[in-house]
């Protein structure tokens, strides 16, 4: 049953920004959560709706579940480089690991606890997690107020360990405006936006090199159009990862102070930001309770820090006891070999059900 549902979810391709596909998938989730007893709300956005589902329980603070229904893969990936495939207990397909598998685990656990005593449950499923949740940050922060703890359904560590902290993640765009000119007849009257962008990216590397524990990835570069025209515009999107808020502040301040090398204009934009979620004693206490729930269903549960970012950064940063990685075990997030171990779907569902009924 879980594999059949996962196949259905994977076949509903939901790339970030495809509002029609995302909203159709949100319709499926909303209908199912309502059938299981939730009051469902939608927060509409042009790039895809976010979903909030509240399940009643005894009069205690709710347990917050964080998930997303967007993937990094375009429509058509399933019929191209990444067909659905089951072999030797491994399931392959776009989004199967990040994070359609986690959504199936959550839904199955909700089915298993139906009729059992538990605290209220709140589910937030966002539509743009893969680009930093720019439209969902305020929603996640608002829905996290007053919760008992937060649990995320992102993939776990390769050995199945949960994630107990995360590096911060920030996306920055550097836009350069130069001046176009004929590249042969009048090159000196032009200002190359591409040359300026290259110099600025070198400056960014110098900033990063001056700090410890910073990851920097220039993800996209655009600019120019013809080799006989001095390019008048260029831009780059850069992803940064930070181990602590102090380093994040220092790096971003230095990036914001970058100055043009030539007669060009710079526009530096913050696209999205997830602050670092650092280790907390409260998270250690939550992990101990989750480990006890795991033992009740015959599972050994441990935790470790993670370098990747997710919406749990926000709850951890706010000081809310938080764990992530309740999705099935697998590998290949954002890669064409994306896969999950089929047997861990049921294992994770049993663990989540035990967490719900024991916390």
Supply the pLDDT for residue 190.
Answer: 97
Our answer to whether residue 60 is catalytic in this structure is no
Looking at residue 300, what DSSP letter applies? -
pLDDT at 284 over 90: yes
CA angle 282, 323, 93 (to 5 degrees): 175
Supply the pLDDT for residue 289.
Answer: 98
Distance CA 71, CA 134 (A): 15
Distance CA 189, CA 90 (A): 60
Residues 18, 49, 70, 154: which is the catalytic one?
70
Helix (H), strand (E) at residue 165 = strand 162-166
What CATH architecture does domain 2-166+277-358 belong to?
A: 3-Layer(aba) Sandwich (3.40)
Residues 49, 129, 154, 161: which is the catalytic one?
129
**Backbone phi, psi, residue 223, to 5°:** 155, 160
Count Cβ atoms below 10 Å from residue 79 Cβ, excluding itself: 11
Q: 117-155 burial, b if ≥16 CB within 10 A, otherwise e?
A: ebbbbbbbbbbbbbbbbbbbbebbeebbeebbbbbbbbb
Q: What is the pTM of this model?
A: 0.90
- Domain range list for the chain: 2-166+277-358, 168-274
What lies within 8 Å, CB to CB, of 173 at 6+ separation is 235, 236, 237, 238, 268, 269, 271
pLDDT at 59 over 90: no
Provide the CATH number for the domain formed by 168-274 in this structure.
3.30.70.360
Span 34-40, average pLDDT: 98
Whether the ω angle into residue 99 lies within 30 degrees of 0, i.e. cis, is yes
Closest CA to 239 of 102, 22, 72: 72
Report pLDDT digits (tens) over 147-172.
999 999 999 999 999 999 999 999 99
Our answer to whether residue 129 is catalytic in this structure is yes
């Amino acid at each position: 049953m879980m594999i059949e549902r996962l196949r259905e979810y994977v076949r509903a391709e939901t790339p970030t920004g495809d509002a029609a596909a995302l909203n159709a998938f949100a319709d499926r989730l909303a209908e199912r959560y309502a059938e299981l007893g939730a009051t469902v709300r939608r927060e509409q956005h042009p790039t895809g709706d976010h979903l909030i589902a509240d399940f009643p329980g005894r009069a205690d603070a709710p347990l917050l579940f964080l998930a997303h229904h967007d993937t990094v893969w375009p429509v058509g990936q399933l019929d191209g480089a990444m067909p659905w495939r089951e072999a030797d207990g491994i399931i392959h397909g776009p989004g199967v690991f990040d994070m359609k598998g986690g959504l199936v685990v959550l839904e199955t656990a909700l089915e298993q606890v139906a009729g059992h005593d538990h605290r209220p449950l709140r589910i937030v499923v966002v539509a743009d997690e893969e680009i930093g949740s720019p439209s969902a940050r305020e929603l996640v922060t608002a829905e996290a107020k007053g919760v008992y703890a937060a649990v995320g359904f992102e993939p776990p560590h390769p050995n199945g360990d949960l994630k107990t902290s995360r590096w911060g993640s920030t996306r920055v765009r550097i836009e350069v405006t130069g001046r176009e000119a004929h590249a042969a007849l009048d090159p000196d009257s032009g200002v190359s936006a591409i040359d300026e962008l290259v110099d600025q990216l070198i400056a960014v590397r110098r900033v990063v090199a001056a700090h410890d524990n910073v990851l920097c990835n220039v993800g996209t570069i655009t600019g120019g159009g013809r080799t006989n025209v001095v390019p008048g515009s260029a831009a780059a999107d850069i992803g940064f990862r930070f181990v602590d808020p102090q380093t994040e502040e220092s790096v971003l301040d230095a990036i914001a102070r970058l100055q043009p090398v030539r007669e060009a204009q710079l526009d530096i934009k913050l696209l999205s930001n997830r602050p670092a979620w650092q280790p907390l004693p409260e998270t250690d206490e939550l992990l101990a309770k989750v480990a006890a729930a795991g033992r009740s269903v015959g599972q050994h549960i441990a935790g470790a820090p993670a370098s990747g970012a997710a919406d749990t950064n926000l709850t951890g940063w706010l000081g809310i006891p938080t764990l992530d990685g309740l999705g099935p075990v697998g590998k290949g997030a954002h890669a064409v070999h994306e896969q999950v171990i089929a047997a861990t779907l049921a294992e994770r569902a049993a663990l989540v059900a035990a967490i719900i009924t024991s916390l």
